[in-house]
Amino acid sequence: MTQAETAAPDFMSTLATGARMIGVPLSADQLARFERYYQELVTWNRKFNLTAITDYEDVQTKHFLDSLAGLPILAEELGLPVTLRPELRLVDVGTGAGFPGIPLKLAAPGLNLTLMDGTGKKIRFLEQVAAALDLDDITIVQGRAEELGRTEAFRAQYDVVTARAVAPLSTLVEYLLPMVRPGGFSLIYKGPGAPQEFLAARKAIQVLGGDTVRFAPLEVPFVEGGRFILLVKKVRATPDLYPRGQGLPRRQPID
Ligand code: SAH
């Protein structure tokens, strides 16, 4: 074997270590794609404001590892390895610069991934990244979740609907749960306000056809606490009334 084949790559080493710690080992090829993603992110960020986090170490921990930390929890609930099942349909709502969707796809390449965002400049960045990283089975959609969730193409179509940092929880569940197929899951990444938000959203989760199967602190390597994960199973169809239009999920969340 040549040295090139045996040596660990000298980039994304924090990500490599952290990913191993959470049980999501990444190959040299996968790490190289994360490195390319980082380069695209900081290059585009000079022209368009995509993220406030651009430091090399911070992106590895607060974006990449944070996104990946939900994967073992989801895989365990589904009874699957962390590479998941090929063709599992997952949509990331309000994905922004691609979080958590793109890291999940890089770790579990068989995923059938949809990235959704309301903002055109995010969509153009995501299209560029998908091409640069040579991602397949990926769909990039510009639109608002509360509108797309009323259409046949999106309603009850996904095995997993995920989101990070998009809206307060009682609003967010009205965006997400309509798109989950019966028996599927919503995987929600939340910050330090999660316990209070969860109490306020319990009624909405139930009304929308959800049942909480997990709500727990999320351990992210090299990140100091304040992270939570919520996993909701869709146990009943969402009533036709939801998601409501006219900004109601945001202005008057279900209570
Ligand atoms: N999930 C990313 C981005 C968070 S910023 C991350 O964790 O880094 C929130 C993003 O959600 C923005 O890009 C915004 O355009 C998008 N967004 C907010 N409300 C939305 C809605 N109702 N439908 C679709 N996208 C939405």
User: pLDDT tens across 73-96, in order?
Assistant: 999 999 999 999 989 999 999 999
- Predicted local confidence at residue 1, as pLDDT: 47
Strand residues in the chain grouped as ranges (E)? 89-93, 112-117, 138-142, 158-164, 180-190, 210-217, 228-234
Q: Of all residues in the chain, what percent carry a pLDDT higher than 70?
A: 97
pTM for the complete prediction?
A: 0.96
* Contact by Cβ (8 Å): 127, 140: yes
**Alpha carbons 105 and 162: distance in angstroms, whole number:** 13
Mean pLDDT of 177-198: 98
Please work out whether the CB of residue 117 comes within 6 Å of at least one atom of ligand 1: yes
Alpha-helical (H) ranges within 108-185 are 120-132, 145-148, 169-176
Return d(Cα 139, Cα 222) in angstroms, integer: 32
Is 94 near ligand 1, meaning CB less than 6 Å away? yes
Which atom of ligand 1 approaches the CA of 250 most closely? Answer: 22
Q: Report whether residue 118 contacts ligand 1, using a CB cutoff of 6 Å.
A: yes
> To test the ligand 1 pocket, which listed residue (142, 161, 166) has its Cβ within 8 A of the most ligand atoms?
166
Closest by alpha carbon to 161, among 208, 216, 128?
208
Is the pLDDT reported for residue 3 higher than 70?
A: no
Residue type for 115, please? L
* C-alpha span between 113 and 219 (Å, rounded): 24
Question: Looking at residues 123-135, what average pLDDT do you find?
Answer: 97
Sign of CA dihedral 59, 9, 32, 105: negative
What is the 7 CA–ligand 1 centroid distance (Å)? Answer: 39
Q: Which residue has the tokens 């924090």?
A: 14
Q: Report the pLDDT averaged over residues 143-150.
A: 97
pLDDT score at 9: 74
Mean pLDDT of the chain: 96
Q: Which residue has the tokens 């959470």?
A: 22
Decide if pLDDT at 123 tops 50: yes
For residue 4, pLDDT over 80 is answered with no
Q: Per the structure block, which two tokens stand in for 107? A: 């770790």
At residue 229, the pLDDT reads: 98
pLDDT bracket for residue 6 (50, 70, 90)? low
pLDDT for the residue 234: 98
The CA distances from residue 227 to 63, 101, 164, 194, 216, in Å, are 12, 17, 11, 8, 9
pLDDT value at residue 5: 54
